[in-house]
Amino acid sequence: MPIVRLGDEGRWTNYHGTGTCEGATRFALRSGDAERGRDEIAIAAESVQDWLAQAKLAKRRVRPLGAGWSPSNVNISSQSWLLHTRRFNRCFRIGAGDVRPGVDAGALMLVEAGALVDEISDKFEEQGRSLWTSGAGNGQTFAGAAATGTHGSMIARGGIQDHIRAVQIVTPAGIHWIEPAAGVMSDAFIAATGSVALRDDEVFAAAQLPVGSVGIVTALVVDSVPKFLVRPIQNLRKVDRAALDWLAAGDFRRFSAAYALDRDPDFVQMIVNPYKPFKRPAMLRFLYREPWRDDYPRATPGQLGAGYDALSLLGRLLNDYPWARGPLLQFAMKQGYASGPDVDDPPVYGSWGEGLDTHRPLAGLFNASVTIDRADLARAFERICAVYAKHGGSTVVTVRFMERAQGLLAPARFTHNAVIDFDGPRSRRTADAYARVVECLDAEGIGFTRHWAKNCHLDAARVAADYGEDFRRWRAAQGRLLPDPAHRALFGSEVLDNLGLTR
């Protein structure tokens, strides 16, 4: 049996030290040595189903844990059984005979639920393939990042869950292989995984972003694109107010020409000091996609711009000296941001995966965001900064851009999205300032959503209002996978219950 118990009941703390499960009984799902991936996940799925039955008999709720990455408490469930999947992380190639006609098997990979974004990225790159988007770091499990709607950051792409083409989910009543109605994998392949095929667009759209509330994800089929290079440009520049209108309109070429290269960028990021955002230089970062070639000069992750979360290390100073918060933030931006390569520097290149890094644990982290319609950026941004600074926010404010993401509960639900992050040192002042930002957006009538894996201050009524008909559709799909209310409750927690996801 690939599930083993890890010691006695006790305490478990997440990766960033921001949440703790009390009275937790910990188990681990581990990879075996089966030659074929379909056989491996068939054994694992059956074991998970047996484990769920035991948890139900013990009257314990369950929570799957990947890397424990989320800085919110969405993965916290005290007095529960916790299933660690981190060592269930094998990746397998998919053969042409394993897919339905018209599906490109070479673009796909079968991955176990504990595989990290970093591990999957590396495997694809070994095969001349690449992920096309991901979050700022890559230390999450792919399943966990998708389950919480980790936003992407490529202008023309959605979230990381958009890579998912099929998913295996285990519930007390069944082992489900979930795909879009058009289908992806062959019937024979699905049968070999021990699953029952469920080809349904609605259920698939719910399973792409399940927020841990529809069963245990045990395996995924992940899509890719041909490998490509990116050229980064980053600098400190004062940004004019008029430039926000260009960004709101999607005129990224004009913004790029003004502050970097006269080219269409694939990625644009703006990190601003909310204290006088247009009078102090902002940290700007651009990525330009280029065709792959093997002879490019290798660069370090730092040279490619990884690790720009270093600002969060200044929590004590920023909290203890509120009168100097603006200048200290600006000093941190200058010191903590990788210098260059700027426009006039020799260009550096890297693959998409080489430009990502795994953050160190940040116990003092405050992590929150709002996603708005990109068209509202110009009228919302300066107001957001003013409110945040007025009430003592101790972090920089970051803006990135992406298209609508797949999944019924995807926070990036607008056609064109601006994601505004408030990431940095944790303090009560910063949390209160973020709460005032939320109040401000509501007062201004600006629609927005919040990241499931960050400090989001959501409740059931707000989730239902933010997601509307998509939330009703998600609950209907959940009801098909978990028709028994007792089974839905099995996957609940205080947090998920309060969000209206498991009641």
- What is 46-88 written as a DSSP string? HHHHHHHHHHHHTT-EEEEESS---SSSTT--TTEEEEE-TT-
Query: Residues 276, 253: contact at Cβ < 8 Å?
Result: no
Residue-wise pLDDT tens digits, 78-128: 999 999 999 999 999 999 999 999 999 999 999 999 999 999 999 999 999
Residue 439 has pLDDT above 50, yes or no: yes
Q: What's the CA gap between 230 and 287, in Å, rounded?
A: 6
* Single-letter amino acid code for the residue at 130: S
Residue-wise pLDDT tens digits, 19-65: 889 999 999 999 999 999 999 999 999 999 999 999 999 999 999 99
467-488: average pLDDT: 97
| Domain architecture of the chain: domains with CATH | 3-226+476-483 (3.30.465.10), 228-449 (3.40.462)
Question: Which segments of 238-361 are extended strands (E)?
Answer: 267-272, 282-291, 350-351
Buried b (16+ CB within 10 A) or exposed e, 433-445: bbebbbebbeeee
The model's pTM: 0.93
The pLDDT assigned to 361 comes to 58
* 208 HSE (CA, 13 A, CB side): 26
CA distances (Å), origin 377, targets 239, 258, 260, 383, 415: 14, 19, 21, 10, 14
The pLDDT assigned to 306 comes to 54
Tokens matching residue 32: 């075996």
